[in-house]
Amino acid sequence: MHDIRAIRETPDAFDAALARRGLAPVSPQILALDEARRTRIHAAESAQADQNRASKEAGAAKGRGDEAEFERLRTLVSAKKEEMAAMQAEAKALDTQLTDLLMALPNLPFDDVPDGTDESGNVELRRWGTPASFDFTPKEHYDITGVQPGMDFETAAKLSGARFVVLSGSIARLHRALAQFMLDTHIEENGLQETWTPVLVRPEMMLGTGQLPKFGEDSYETTNGWWLVPTAEVTLTNIVHGETVDAATLPRRYVAHTQCFRSEAGSAGRDTAGMLRQHQFEKVEMVSITHPDESRAELDRMTACAQSILERLGLPYRTIVLCTGDMGFGARRTHDIEVWLPGQNTYREISSVSVCGDFQARRMNARFKPQGGGKPEFLHTLNGSGLAVGRCLIAVLENGQQADGTVRIPDALHPYLRGKTILKADGSLG
């Protein structure tokens, strides 16, 4: 959602920012709707003032026995009431059109976001770790001998269809250990507050974080109008939906481990093998609610939090800043973290950390009271994966694989597996 006052003041700058995202100028349409709406509002207010004045004069005419003047004024009161109602209805319709238009427009990129039309315009910020050299051809996760007993796609297809998996035994345990390790690290070392939230939400919550109305096909709606969350960003961010909080309580830093659900609309044929792209998956999600002056620095802090998980696991990664053409709908700047997958011989996204400015807060009407007084202001919001649990499992399995079909387990996970250090070729832990 965008600030209509800012568009009125600097329409050219608004269009220029949208042009960086590949969109045509839209400020003339916005300002025309805005002017028409304001004209109707002013007309309704004038009609109401005329109605009030005529009503008062009618009372006076009635009191002095001037029936002709009373009838004339009563007719005028009725006409002004109808005029006011018509203008209010037109203003409401125009306001709906304006809101729908603004809701469909993406956030404006920060000036330091690189320009580009697609992922080829992304810029690498840093790399950590060196991909291991194997004396054999590394396999993808689902082909590793020790993994196969615990990763069942056929049964999942029988139960639910394509892009689901059944994890069992050691693989299920390793998956759970990863989520627990991520939570503990974020809570104990990174200062985030553990939070448990629903995975079913009302549509206004999806609207607040930007999944609706434009991207409804990417998610699942239930028959009673609830939505399954595509990420805990929806619930964690909407904690402040409709709230005005004290500035002294900022920043608020949340983390939650949840099931996530995505229809993967538009991704037909992409990453269909293995569990890289699933309809149901788990994520440990980070959300920060901040003062506007602190949000840009918070993006770097959250990026470091996500990176620290991979570093503790010894997984090589690179961090990139997305260009204007590859950035998500609600973001002003996004850092993607890509982990090295030797089975694919490439880096793949495992976390996306974004600062949204006041874009989501305006949709949610979420504000804060400045310290020292003053008019409430809109909050700033950020979100990021810390990390995608399934993709992290893939990275652990592929980077730790050995020629005999076993998998070395990162040291950081040993305490969560009661000292087990290896996934054996038969699928057990040892």
Residue entry with tokens 């549509």: 203
Instruction: Please tell me which residue in 277, 296, 312, 408 is annotated as part of the active site.
Output: 277
Strand partners, 201: 227
349 labelled catalytic: yes
Q: Which residues of 329-339 are buried (b: 16+ CB within 10 A; e: fewer)?
A: bbbbbbbbbbb
126 labelled catalytic: no
Instruction: Please tell me which residue in 20, 40, 163, 262 is annotated as part of the active site.
Output: 262
Q: State both tokens at 119.
A: 């992922």
Half-sphere exposure of 159 (CA within 13 A, CB side): 10
253 labelled catalytic: no
Q: Is 253 helix (H, G, I), strand (E, B) or coil?
A: strand
Q: Which residues of 155-185 are buried (b: 16+ CB within 10 A; e: fewer)?
A: ebeeeeeebbbbbeebbebbbbbbbbbbbeb
Instruction: Please tell me which residue in 352, 363, 385, 398 is annotated as part of the active site.
Output: 352
Please give the Cα distance from 177 to 312 (Å, whole number).
14
Instruction: State yes or no: cis peptide before 429, omega within 30 of 0.
Output: no
Are 284 and 385 a contacting pair, CB within 8 Å?
yes
Strand partners, 318: 127, 338
- Where helices occur in 22-112 by DSSP H, the ranges are 27-63, 67-103
Instruction: Reduce the secondary structure of 111-176 to three states and give it as a string.
Output: CCCCCCCCHHHCEEEEEECCCCCCCCCCCCHHHCCCCHHHEEHHHHHHHCCCCCCEECHHHHHHHH
Q: What is the maximum span of the chain, computed from C-alpha positions, in angstroms?
A: 108
Instruction: Please tell me which residue in 263, 349, 377, 408 is annotated as part of the active site.
Output: 349
Dihedral angle, C-alpha 21, 27, 30, 32, nearest 10 °? -160
CA–CA–CA angle 274, 280, 284 (5° rounding): 100
202 labelled catalytic: no
391 labelled catalytic: yes
Are 422 and 429 a contacting pair, CB within 8 Å?
yes
Please give the Cα distance from 335 to 306 (Å, whole number).
10
- Catalytic residue positions, numbered: 262, 277, 349, 352, 391
